[in-house]
Structure 1
Amino acid sequence: MSTSDVVVITGAGGMGTAVARRIGSGRTVLLADAFPDHLDRAVAALRAEGYRVLGRVTDIADRTSVNELAEAATAAGRPTAVVHTAGVSAATSTVARILEVDLAGTAYVIDAFEQLAVPGLSVVCVASMAGHYAQLSPAAERALAIAPADELLTLDVVTSLGDDPVAAYIVAKRANQVRVQAAALAYNRRGARINTISPGVVSTAMAEAEQRSASGEQMMAMLDACGIGRTGTPAEIAEAAAFLTGPDSRYITGTDLLVDGGQAAWLRWHRPR
């Protein structure tokens, strides 16, 4: 029996399960989430639809837990794609949790799968359009890009954030983007690739919570102002992930794909000053 191709997906929410449905057919899906009940429901739903799914409880904020996920992927077969959708939002989390999960956790994922990368592997980290809001110095961006993962939470650009969850989220997501850019060289040397996707407002449970937050009205108004007039869907993010993990993107690595309905472009060129 030939070795199964393995797709690793972190986050068993709407975005993660949409990715599983889009790229999981005929492969082993290793689905990871921090919440066992949530994970079990997603695994059961996907299995009922005919997918071969393994569930693994994983705390992205714990380096050991992430390393064990990478090892489990190798044990299950030949990892061909990793799509990291797990994260927390500014509307529902503390600054500390945002930095632990969205900043350090993503760095742990990048490091863990680099060590086990085989030729043909494609890793996609879901960042955010919010990363394009960041106004950081070149020195701060360089530190976020190349500092050892275990030192990220001690960087000046991080410790100076105070108690503003939105600022923490923006810095964390910018760090995801630049860290993937910096990691592309090591992945290339292993015959593998790594990119980010930066969604705008996508219709997930997390986005619904954000819409009910203090900044939610402004966020939804931006969708009208930029002309798109609607939120994105998890399936649209899954299509982007399918492209970046598929054969048509073999020459694409170390870059960010905005999937935001034009919101970042509107912010840069048309937002009233």
Structure 2
Amino acid sequence: MTSASAATNGLPASAPPLAGRVALVTGAGSGIGRAAALAYAAKGAAVALVGRREALLLEVVAEIEAKGGSAAAFAADVADETAIRGLISDVVARFGRLDIAFNNAGTSSYGLIEQASSAEFDRVFATNVRGVWLLLREEIAAMRAAGRGGAIVNTSSIAATGGTAGLSIYAPSKAALDAMTRVLAIEIGRDGIRINNVSPGLTRTPMNDGLPDVMFEQVAAHSALGRIATPEEIADAAVWLSGDEARFVTGQDLLVDGGFNIAGWR
């Protein structure tokens, strides 16, 4: 991100690294999104929490405020174009600016292609590809209009570059997101806006609760670190990509998979 440090923003040098900035997090009611909202707030950012389940968002807002942070909930479905247009305007109206966007909301699909339906394909792509594209269009417009640069992080997946049976819908939806990120890095870089992806491996989140335990065991056994990620570990990577420490990083896909993709045969 090209925006100035805390000291040059008129804040004390001892201020938290994201003090004075506003971060938007989608899918913020649970899992990685919830962990990220808490992490952004801990770094000093005001946080706009976005999701379909307002009650969950309000719980996270209350947790942030109890720790002295600033947050607000915005109920919206990322696949709804009208809602997304209004969402970004509402966030800017509430907080006065938008500096960081973590486009984390997504949905999954698992099953062999013979059993899959075109309706399932459309459902996944509506959220994972079209929904992120809609968010990016509005976020970038807001950041460009403000002229202060910005940082955007999308949640992709190691499935985008790997091959796993049963992911003929989910994997290409994330591969599309990787391509989109590379293209937009070129489009918006001269405006001081960075965009990157964080790509988790299998993570213990509510979205993955239905997966069999043996899958977690097999992935952990094949990972260099020998375990499954927590939501907080993925969130920390997204926050790092959003901050000044990553100010010369854009158009990249950061694998946060405990070394699963490098493990090879063991």
- Determine helix, strand or coil for the equivalent of 1:116: helix
Q: After TM superposition, give the deviation of residue 4 of structure 1 in Å.
A: 4.8
Unaligned runs of 5+ in 1: 136-163
Number of residues paired by the alignment?
Answer: 236
- Determine helix, strand or coil for the equivalent of 1:8: strand
Q: After TM superposition, give the deviation of residue 190 of structure 1 in Å.
A: 1.6
Alignment pair present for 1:234 and 2:253: no
Q: Distance in 1 between matches of 2:71 and 2:218?
A: 39
- Pairing 1:84-123 to 2, within 5 Å after superposition: 84-91=103-110, 94-117=120-143, 118-123=147-152
Could you say what the CA RMSD is over the residues aligned between the two structures, in angstroms?
Answer: 2.5
Q: Distance in 2 between matches of 1:98 and 1:165?
A: 14
Q: After TM superposition, give the deviation of residue 184 of structure 1 in Å.
A: 0.6
Q: Distance in 2 between matches of 1:253 and 1:63?
A: 26
Percent identity between the aligned chains? 29
- Pairing 1:35-46 to 2, within 5 Å after superposition: 35-46=53-64
Q: After TM superposition, give the deviation of residue 182 of structure 1 in Å.
A: 0.6
The match for 1:13 is 30
CA deviation string 1:23-74 (max 9, x = no partner): 2243321100012222222222322232211100111111222222222232
- Pairing 1:161-172 to 2, within 5 Å after superposition: 166-172=167-173
- Pairing 1:97-176 to 2, within 5 Å after superposition: 97-117=123-143, 118-133=147-162, 166-176=167-177
Q: After TM superposition, give the deviation of residue 91 of structure 1 in Å.
A: 4.7
**Among candidates 76, 83, 107, match of residue 102 of structure 2:** 83
Q: Distance in 1 between matches of 2:163 and 2:84?
A: 27
The match for 2:40 is 23
CA deviation string 1:69-126 (max 9, x = no partner): 2222322222121111111122599333211111211111222211112433100001
Q: Distance in 2 between matches of 1:115 and 1:74?
A: 12
Normalising to structure 1: TM-score of the pair?
0.79
The match for 1:155 is none
Normalising to structure 2: TM-score of the pair?
0.80
Q: Going by fraction, where is helix more abundant, 1 or 2?
A: 1
The match for 2:179 is 178
Q: Distance in 1 between matches of 2:163 and 2:130?
A: 17
- Determine helix, strand or coil for the equivalent of 1:29: strand
Amino acid at match of 1:245: S
Q: After TM superposition, give the deviation of residue 132 of structure 1 in Å.
A: 1.1
Unaligned runs of 5+ in 2: 1-9, 11-18, 112-118
